[in-house]
């Protein structure tokens, strides 16, 4: 019998005995598709012979007939052809395709060849390389969730912002940031700086260098001990631009309530453009 692949329509010639009466699962050698092939139909058993009809009443005797004409004798050169009984289906298939391999349990080796039409165009390499629609694929492709992506972006931004705030609060802004920074720190509670202008001295030394000296006091006016930060002295020119600055460590780092400590500081080789001085606490 001839079977046909339901996927690629390739036809195969197989003997009836290979499929059996109940059929079996076969696989296409071209596209690797498997399907269940029904077996060949079984001829219905012959039924019971019909009942004989009732005997008819005796008919009248037929009229006398003339003698039959003489039969024609066959010619001497004419021979009667023998009647050949039809061969079974399996034998006919074997006779038509003597080179067809028997059908076994494995995959079918090759499909039955069919003559290609004369005007058929050759198949391209791309057409032959196309994947079969029966190949195993995932049932669906996962889709991107925009809400999840935005949540991750917000979390990353929050971490970066928190790290930036922590770094600025601990180390301060870098110098390249174009933000105006205060020259001095805020006033310290209970600590009072006293540097009168009359005790600030500036003069030129005999060797030609510029000398600047400042004298003052630091007083704790509170009722508890206070830590004394570093002092910053800034020199400005006539345009109020900073031309020189230096840090002055305090004589002692802690002052008791009501305690006063004197501060005397001098520096040489200052810019000639310096006109006045400012004294305060060094910023953090």
Count: domains in the chain: 2
Same domain membership, residue 202 and residue 114: no
Burial-class residue 28 by CB neighbours within 10 Å (0-12, 13-18, 19+). Answer: buried
pLDDT of 13? 84
Residue 155 CB neighbours (<10 A): 10
Same domain membership, residue 102 and residue 19: yes
The mean of the pLDDT values for the chain is 74
Give the start-end residues of each E strand in the chain.
2-4, 11-13, 24-27, 34-37, 191-194, 200-204, 210-220, 226-227, 231-236, 242-248, 254-255, 260-268, 276-281
Torsion sign (Cα): 185, 188, 191, 192:
positive
Highest mean pLDDT among 94-98, 165-169, 237-241: 237-241
Parent domain of 91: 1-40+86-118+129-134
Whether 64 is in a domain gets the answer no
Same domain membership, residue 196 and residue 114: no
Place of tokens 């002692």: 252
Q: What is the pLDDT of residues 189-234, one digit of tens each?
A: 889 999 998 888 888 888 888 899 999 999 999 999 999 999 999 9
Same domain membership, residue 96 and residue 3: yes
Same domain membership, residue 9 and residue 93: yes
Whether 235 is in a domain gets the answer yes
Please check whether residue 243 is in contact with residue 202, taking contact to mean a CB–CB distance below 8 angstroms: no
The answer for residues whose C-beta is within 8 angstroms of residue 12's C-beta and 6 or more apart is 2, 3, 4, 5, 108, 111, 112
Same domain membership, residue 112 and residue 1: yes
Looking from the CA of 125 toward its CB, the CA atoms found within 13 Å total 0
Whether 223 is in a domain gets the answer yes
Whether 147 is in a domain gets the answer no
Whether 266 is in a domain gets the answer yes
Q: Across-strand partners of 247?
A: 232
CATH number at residue 246: 2.60.40.10
Greater confidence (64 vs 211) lies with: 211
Q: What is the pLDDT of residues 159-184, one digit of tens each?
A: 999 999 988 887 777 767 766 677 88
Q: Any idea which of 139-153, 168-182, 223-237, 245-259 has the lowest mean pLDDT?
A: 168-182
Whether 54 is in a domain gets the answer no
| Alpha-carbon span 178 to 221, nearest angstrom | 38
Same domain membership, residue 113 and residue 4: yes
Q: What is the mean pLDDT of residues 141-146?
A: 73
Res 39 pLDDT > 70 = yes
Greater confidence (116 vs 1) lies with: 1
Whether 265 is in a domain gets the answer yes
Q: What is the mean pLDDT of residues 27-49?
A: 74
| Alpha-carbon span 216 to 207, nearest angstrom | 27
Whether 1 is in a domain gets the answer yes
Same domain membership, residue 114 and residue 2: yes
């Amino acid at each position: 019998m001839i079977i046909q692949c339901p996927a690629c329509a390739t036809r195969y010639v197989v003997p009836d005995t290979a499929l059996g009466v109940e059929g079996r699962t076969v696989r296409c050698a071209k596209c690797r598709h498997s399907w269940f092939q029904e077996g060949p139909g079984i001829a219905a058993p012959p039924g019971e012979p019909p009942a004989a009809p009732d005997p008819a009443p005796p008919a009248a005797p037929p009229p006398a007939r003339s003698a039959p004409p003489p039969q024609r004798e066959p010619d001497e050169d004419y021979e009667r052809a023998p009647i050949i009984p039809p061969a079974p289906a399996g034998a006919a298939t074997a006779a038509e395709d003597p080179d067809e391999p028997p059908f076994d349990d494995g995959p079918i080796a090759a499909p039955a060849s069919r003559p290609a039409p004369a005007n058929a165009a050759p198949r391209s390499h791309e057409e032959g390389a196309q994947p079969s629609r029966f190949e195993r694929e995932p049932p669906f492709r996962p889709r991107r969730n925009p809400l999840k992506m935005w949540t991750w972006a917000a979390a990353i931004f929050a971490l970066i912002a928190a790290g930036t705030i922590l770094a600025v609060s601990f180390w301060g802004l870098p110098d390249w940031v174009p933000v105006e920074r205060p020259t001095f720190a805020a006033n310290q509670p209970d600590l009072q700086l006293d540097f009168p202008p009359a005790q600030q001295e500036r003069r030129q030394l005999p060797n030609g260098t510029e000398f600047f000296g400042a004298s003052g006091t630091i007083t704790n006016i509170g009722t508890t001990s206070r830590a004394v930060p570093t002092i910053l002295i800034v020199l400005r020119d006539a345009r109020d631009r900073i031309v020189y600055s230096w840090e002055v460590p305090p004589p002692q780092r802690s002052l008791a309530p009501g305690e006063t400590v004197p501060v005397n500081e001098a520096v040489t080789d200052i810019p000639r453009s310096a006109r006045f001085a400012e004294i305060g606490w060094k910023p953090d």
